[in-house]
């Protein structure tokens, strides 16, 4: 039986090669601690929920 609630979610590196920021079309980096995809150009962090990146600008967290 899988312990899905205690297992940290990771992002497939191949996914990072394909995904781009929906605002700038720039590269994204993965923040493992916060489980987010970060766009330095747009100064936004996109959440990953249940292993699925949420690539909507309105759901992104602004970076300080």
Output the pLDDT for position 15.
83
The mean pLDDT value of the chain amounts to 86
Which domains does the chain show, CATH number per domain? 26-62 (2.20.25.10)
> Which of 22, 6, 5, 3 has the alpha carbon at shortest distance from 53?
22
Read off the pLDDT band of 50 (50, 70, 90).
Answer: confident
Rounded to two decimals, the pTM is: 0.80
Beta strands in the chain (DSSP E): 29-31, 36-39, 44-49, 52-53, 61-62
């Amino acid at each position: 039986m899988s312990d899905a609630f205690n297992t940290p979610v990771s992002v497939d590196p191949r996914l990072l090669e394909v995904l781009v920021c929906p605002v700038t079309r720039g590269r994204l980096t993965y923040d493992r601690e916060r489980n987010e995809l970060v766009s330095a150009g747009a100064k936004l962090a996109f959440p990953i929920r249940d292993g699925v990146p949420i690539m909507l600008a309105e759901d992104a967290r602004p970076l300080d």
